[in-house]
A and B are shown apart, each in its own frame.
Chain A
Amino acid sequence: MSKLHIETTINREPAEFLCEPHETVLSALRNGLGLTGTKEGCATGDCGACSILLDGRLVPACLVLAPEAQGRTITTIEGLSRGDALHPLQQKFLEHAALQCGICTPGFIVAAKALLDATPEPSEEETRYWLAGNLCRCTGYDKIVRAVLDAASEMKGSAA
């Protein structure tokens, strides 16, 4: 079986890769393109470690077939910082100690970005329900939720 040639945009740059028809975007990112910041925790869409933005929409990369990326726009954790500047969510995760082992962190930050893109001033409850698709086993979520809420208020301040 020959591989498929896929052209897409990843983190604001044109990208292309070869994949098997049944391969996932997660596999294409990690194995084909070397973008290992997107993690695999379950491969069944239950843990959120592989959260990416596909045309701006939050999806688990393990549940999207790689050929479906043709002509689409993908944002991964590697695309959040700009030059020397971390994204405010990245900075707040550091300041709030919102990570312990860190394996879920890329997925949480991408998912939280999708939340703040749609809802710049989320309540704690909105934040908790939005992030319910991302599993963290280390933190009990307390510091993660605080980091996201603090990033939201800072981003609102800098936008004003």
Chain B
Amino acid sequence: MTAPRDFKYVGTRPIRHDGVDKVTGRASYGADAAWPGMLHGFVLRSPHAHARIVSIDTGAAEAVPGVHAVITGKDLPETTATIALGEAAIDLRDIGDNVLAKTKTLYHGHAVAAVAATTIDIAREAAAAIEVVYDVLEPVTGIDRALGAGAPILHPALVTKGAAGPDAGGPTNIASRMELKRGDVDAGFAEADLVVEREFRTPMVHQGYIEPHACIARCGEDGRAVVWCTTQGPFVVRDACAAIVGLDPANVKVVPSEIGGGFGGKIVVYLEPLALALARKARRPVKIVMGRDDVFRATGPTSGSKVRVKLGAKRDGTIVAASASLWYEAGAYAGSPVGAGAMCMLAAYKVPNFFIEAYDVVVNKPKVAAYRAPGSPIAAFAVESVVDEIARELKIDPIELRLMNANAEGDRAPYGPKYGPIGLAQILEAARAHPHWRAPLGANQGRGFAVGFWFNAGMNSSATVTLNSDGSAAVVTGNPDIGGTRAAQAMMAAEELGIPVERVRSNVGDTDGSGFTDVTGGSRVCYATGMAVIRAAEDAREQLRARAATIWNVSKDAVGWENGRAIPPAGTEKASPMTVAELTAKMTQTGGPIVGRASLYAPMAGPAFGAHICDLEVDPETGRSRIVRYTAFQDVGKAVHPSYVEGQMQGGVAQGIGWALNEEYIYSADGVMENAGFLDYRMPVASDLPMIETVIVEVANPLHPYGVRGVGEVPIVPPLAAVANAMRDATGIRFTELPLSPPRVLEAIEAAAAVPVEA
């Protein structure tokens, strides 16, 4: 157990170090940089969801005055390289083909060529002059078509990986199948007094970051290249660009800009290899900025899904059996988060008998990217809706039912390991005790409750803490700051060194200036990179103790450390405690500069749960609904900067509400995305939402010196079900398909009203 500790800075709310630059417009994001001699790039994209590329003629485009380079898939070597991402791997063959189609286009918006010219207008005009001959194929527009008889096949060589299913063998659109099981499911259901089974569907949704993808790249005659871009993972960009373009990674430096949101969608590359390949061909820097329509069509989304869930419970509420089948759309290439969905879906509950099968299905839609707790919200929507049904049938309070079945420390998680200390019971009890749970509801209002789980990630992190002669410090890590991590890291360094937090500069390094660090993702930065910062600061502190020992001519072990001061051993002549500034003023005389450093691999993180209460009001005449009150409870381990912890919770809730109520990719029958803009892809705006109350619960994570758990992902998991359960409470209708948009809700209300009530 982590010993209780009195913190000086951790838990306070200092103004973030990068704040003034961001409120004055000075902060430089992906599209804000301009380099001398820069060309502008434009990407030509497929108008067809599924087509064979017969030929591409770039002659007319190359002849346009002002055009310096044109590239197609033939200009990029096929690569079989992979990039490690924690214990998983990113397959760069697929990424390379996604960046620029080689033989087939697999979704509406798939890149087929790119142009660099002196102005963006010329680049666009030249791209329009490229002649692409397509052999248009029937698109696979969804899971049912992908699995149906005679379905078109996206990848003829695709073989289903993993646990063989009944349909193994032969051409397939199923990229993988996995199973999770425990106990005897049939016996479990036989024991149940109540069995509820439902099938759920969710559409593709986008991360919706406000900053489009953007980059500038240059490449010298010696093969040395620099890429400036907005990314969650500069080292991923470096390795991916090198492999896809055919450069030595040692020659590629990636400089991350400020990042305008990512939520998982800015981990892989889209534009960067194209800018780099164009820059190499033109020998001029090339800048490419993606339009919002292309952001929707060609980046990001998370899976559309079909999930079937069956739960069995005893009359007293004990859940005794579960079975589930999940099909997630991967988009054009293998790799949906269906496995994570399967592993998360029962994480909250002690279920003695279960069987889960999970299918990764390729369809002619954009290749999915990570989106905040990838896979878990979809699975939680299904399970938490069914748990809500069980509570209703058995007339048990939904929080009581969950408490009754809640996993606790020492229980085995459905995905394998035994839980350490987890805060599930604590957040459920906090929700039960909260006034929101008992507040009266108005007309046409309903209340929903749901819980959610995410593993959180650890992985690789590095940090340096450099002391200056005036006693200030500079922290460098390799994680782009997507929501306040610089402030948190400065606070941790200040805590360890005992210097004011304002005296710590916190920096995001580039791939040459920081040690290897995995992506800003997996809720890992404050946890794992924070741990690296703490250790680097400890390292600097130990060096300070050694310097004090030199000055006092005593052994280092005899030097104490208290409140940012080295303490001489009792009885040392003429020695009095020395502050960090007093010690650093003598650095040159006592051995030279002091740089604390740490690098680590954290194989595990502290998993976390959230519980949400949602009040919703529906207008029965229009089907429009409005969230009227929302409270989110979460075990965060230890909140380093509580304001940014609350912000993560509120932001995740808002995204989840958007997913539940309005957001969806709409495709025509021929696979064309019809709502590729913010007007028609309806994300929540300020007038859609109430204040979002947050309740921070702190159950220390023993893996972190301060008890920190990852925070960012959990809060998007419960809202889909919390909203749907509130809608059930308000209307009496169980909705099993998202979004709960006004037309869908109105249709269901009218259908329910038309059914004669049985006597």
Contact surface of A with B, Cβ cutoff 8 Å: 20, 30-31, 34-44, 46-47, 49, 76-78, 80-81, 86, 90, 93-97, 99-106, 109, 124-125, 127-129, 131-146
Contacts and interface: CB of A to CB of B under 8 A. Distances in A.
B32 interface: yes
Contact of A143 (B19, B650, B684): B650
B297 to A, nearest CB: 14
Nearest to A100: B483
Tell me which of A34, A76, A101 has the highest count of chain B C-beta atoms within 10 A of its own C-beta: A101
Given A41-B211, A100-B644, A143-B650, A137 B23 contact: no
B15 A127 contact: no
B334 to A, nearest CB: 27
A100 to B, nearest CB: 4
Nearest to B18: A102
Contacts of B19: 93-94, 99
B16 interface: yes
B421 interface: no
Contacts of B261: 100-101, 103, 137-138
The DSSP consensus for interface residues of chain B is loop
A143 B643 contact: yes
Interface string B683-696: 11111110110000
A125 B688 CA distance: 10
Given A44-B292, A137-B655, 14 more contacts: A36-B32, A39-B210, A39-B211, A41-B292, A43-B291, A49-B210, A100-B644, A124-B691, A132-B685, A140-B652, A140-B692, A142-B689, A142-B692, A145-B691
A102 B24 contact: no
Interface in B458-490: 482-484
Given A131-B686, A132-B685, A132-B687, A97 B677 contact: no
A106 B25 contact: yes
A86 B483 CA distance: 21
12 contacts: A47-B292, A97-B644, A97-B646, A100-B261, A101-B210, A101-B482, A103-B210, A109-B23, A128-B686, A135-B683, A140-B650, A140-B684
B677 A142 contact: no
B210 A47 contact: yes
Contact of B22 (A43, A105, A132): A105
A111 B249 CA distance: 44
A50 to B, nearest CB: 11
B176 to A, nearest CB: 30
A59 to B, nearest CB: 17
B647 interface: yes
B25 A76 contact: yes
A141 B684 CA distance: 9
Nearest to B119: A20
Tell me which of B212, B483, B644, B647 has the highest count of chain A C-beta atoms within 10 A of its own C-beta: B647
B686 A134 contact: yes
A73 B689 CA distance: 34
Contacts of A128: 686-687, 689
A-B pairs with lowest CB-CB distance, top 9: A37-B25, A103-B260, A140-B654, A102-B22, A140-B650, A97-B643, A46-B678, A100-B483, A77-B25
A99 B23 CA distance: 9
Contacts of B28: 36
Contacts of A101: 209-211, 258-262, 482-483
Nearest to A90: B23
B228 interface: no
Contacts of A106: 23, 25
A81 B23 CA distance: 10
A112 B517 CA distance: 38
B135 interface: no
A135 B685 contact: yes
Nearest to B653: A140
A31 B23 CA distance: 20
B679 A46 contact: yes
Contacts of A44: 292, 677-679
B31 interface: yes
A139 B26 contact: no
Tell me which of A31, A37, A93, A142 has the highest count of chain B C-beta atoms within 10 A of its own C-beta: A142
Contacts of B31: 30, 36, 39-40
